Amino acid sequence: MSDTAIVIGITLVYLVMVLAVGLRARGQASSSLEGYVAGGRHVGVVILFFILGAEIFSAFAFLGTPGWSYQHGAPAFYILAYLSLVPITIWALGPRVAKLGRERGYLTQGDMIADHYRSKPLGMLAGVIGVVALVPYLTIQIAGAGLLFQAATDGAVPFWLGGLLAFLVVAAYVFTSGLSGIGWTNLVQGVMMIVIAWFLGLAIPERLYGGVGEMFSQLQQQAPEYLTMPGATGMGWGYFSTAVLVSAFGGAMWPHLFMKFYSADSGKTLRKVSVFYPLYAYLLVPLLFIGFAGILAFADAPLERSDTVLLRMVMDVANFSPWVIGLMLSGALAAAMSTGANLAHTAAVVLVRDVMGPTVMKGASEKATIGATRWSVLGLSLAAYGLALLNPGSLVMILLTAYGLIVQLFPMVIGALFMPTLRRASVMAGALVGSLGYLLMDFVWSSPFGWHAGVWAMLLNIVVVAAWQRFGRPDSDVSLTRPASR
């Protein structure tokens, strides 16, 4: 049997196993809207830990994290810096969001916003921003899967087919089982990727340099610029710090995070998860090691695409057996697929409930809503697959772009949770101006001082909100025509 056949065989067995677990997770709860979206609101600590952890361990983690440490060096530690702030978000926001969801029937972030501000257009705006930010995030997972298959099989499985296989497996069990399928497959895939990440992160430096400590000693002698700020590529403290801020505050605004809050069986469960959540950030450390190992390994022939450093180290430099390569591919696919499932599920729910619900699906039955959500999983995943085929750039930069957009929901969400005096016209104006400003600074103009454009857009957002609060007219007392619980 050829090496490529062994790698493909191991990976296909893994994909079938994940598909079987996801399909078997379908129960009676999945037939109701609350069950399909929020798991019946009774998800416990262990499953919730792995579901929320999947938002970290994605294709971004397995490919983008080592890619950034290989390309930039020390600035890659911004990832650990912002992830250390995520537990604060879960602790501070999670229990209150879960309580409101249980009391008022919220299933999406847009539900809470629309009900609090008594404005369906505002809920729709939040939904549109959420979907626009989620699709690029989903694209990262599909592109990562395509890259993994192509490299690990030496081109026997091309990029388009690798991405398609992962997309089909994820779409199948999310379509069928909803959050229940996501939870159980994330548990299986979480264990898989944790083991693979630590094995590779320690085995590669040991094989090539005699250990992690010796690797950094050689790096200090041969390429010390990678071990200090601003790193090898001149990323200054301004961009580093603002990337941390945008990622931390933006991470708190992701619609899929809110939907997982709604699924928790209690606020106490969420606080327990927040205590253990940093363990997932700790598991990114070995992936950073792989990137640093690549700096020395490819010093004479730099890689054209930094996101491929893990694949090249495993296949071309460390000379692992095809059995190990197959397991590596499976572990990395686990990261991409577990996050992709969360994103496809959330984007579909937000699209149908927050954007289509008040418009083209107004008055639709629960059965029709579930059906539309399931088909939207396929449609949005297919759209993300199409974007992945366009060969997007750095996975980290795509994610940072998505964070810069989603963070514009911050004043709106904080107003709904903690600042009841904020008016809907104020937060809507702030979100629109901030989002437009961000897109212009990120794609048309250059960001001042080299900072992440999301910070400037967020400041612009807050200024507009404050000015509207001070000089704008009070909101008219217009009630919603639908109950929050729908």
**Model confidence pLDDT, tens digit, residues 69-92:** 999 999 988 888 888 888 888 899
**Close Cβ partners of 312 (under 8 Å, ≥ 6 residues apart):** 151, 294, 298, 303
Tell me what pLDDT residue 471 has.
87
Helix (H, G, I), strand (E, B) or coil at 59: helix
- Sequence-distant contacts of 359-364: CB under 8 A, at least 24 apart: 359/124
**Residue 480 has which token pair?**
């919603």
pLDDT at 483 over 70: no
Give residue-wise pLDDT tens across range 279-318. 877 778 999 999 999 999 999 889 988 888 998 898 888 8
Q: pLDDT averaged over the chain?
A: 86
Instruction: State how far the alpha carbon of 194 is from the alpha carbons of 82, 189, 201, 312, 419, in Å.
Output: 20, 9, 11, 20, 39
**Close Cβ partners of 3 (under 8 Å, ≥ 6 residues apart):** 322, 325
Q: What are phi and psi for residue 54, nearest 5 degrees? A: -60, -20
**Close Cβ partners of 118 (under 8 Å, ≥ 6 residues apart):** 424, 475, 477, 478, 479, 480
**Residue 92 has which token pair?**
């501070």
Tell me what pLDDT residue 294 has.
95
**Lowest-pLDDT choice from 27-36, 199-208, 455-464:** 27-36
**Close Cβ partners of 367 (under 8 Å, ≥ 6 residues apart):** none
114 or 328: which leads in pLDDT: 114
What is the dihedral sign for C-alpha 123, 379, 444, 237? positive
Tell me what pLDDT residue 29 has.
53
* Residue for token pair 């709904």: 416
CB 307 within 8 A of CB 394: yes
Tell me what pLDDT residue 406 has.
85
Give residue-wise pLDDT tens across range 309-349. 998 898 888 888 888 888 888 888 888 888 888 889 999 99
Tell me what pLDDT residue 395 has.
58
**Residue 29 has which token pair?**
């709860």
Strand partners, 264: 43
The pLDDT confidence band at residue 52, using thresholds 50, 70 and 90, is: confident
Tell me what pLDDT residue 461 has.
95
Question: If you average pLDDT over residues 253-282, what whole number do you get?
Answer: 87
Give residue-wise pLDDT tens across range 216-247. 999 999 999 999 888 888 878 888 898 888 88
Helix (H, G, I), strand (E, B) or coil at 57: coil
Tell me what pLDDT residue 293 has.
96
Domains annotated on the chain, with CATH: 3-407 (1.20.1730.10)
Smallest CA-to-CA distance from 238 within 226, 246, 227 is with: 246
Q: Which letter, b or e, does each residue of 31-69 get, where b requires 16 or more Cβ atoms within 10 Å of its Cβ?
A: eebbbbbbbbbebebebbbbbbbbbbbbbbbbbbbbbbb
Tell me what pLDDT residue 447 has.
84
Question: If you average pLDDT over residues 456-461, what whole number do you get?
Answer: 94
Tell me what pLDDT residue 298 has.
94
pLDDT at 137 over 90: no
What CA–CA distance (Å, rounded) separates 336 from 5?
22
pLDDT at 129 over 80: yes
Cα R_g (the chain), whole angstroms: 22
pLDDT at 248 over 90: no
CB 310 within 8 A of CB 138: no
Smallest CA-to-CA distance from 264 within 480, 91, 85 is with: 91
Return the biggest CA–CA distance within the chain.
74
Strand partners, 43: 264
Question: If you average pLDDT over residues 194-203, what whole number do you get?
Answer: 90
27 or 220: which leads in pLDDT: 220
Length of the chain: 486
465 or 362: which leads in pLDDT: 465
pLDDT at 482 over 60: no
Give residue-wise pLDDT tens across range 374-431. 999 999 999 989 888 886 555 556 766 777 888 898 999 999 999 989 999 999 999 9
Question: If you average pLDDT over residues 268-276, what whole number do you get?
Answer: 91
Question: If you average pLDDT over residues 109-137, what whole number do you get?
Answer: 89
What CA–CA distance (Å, rounded) separates 307 from 322?
21
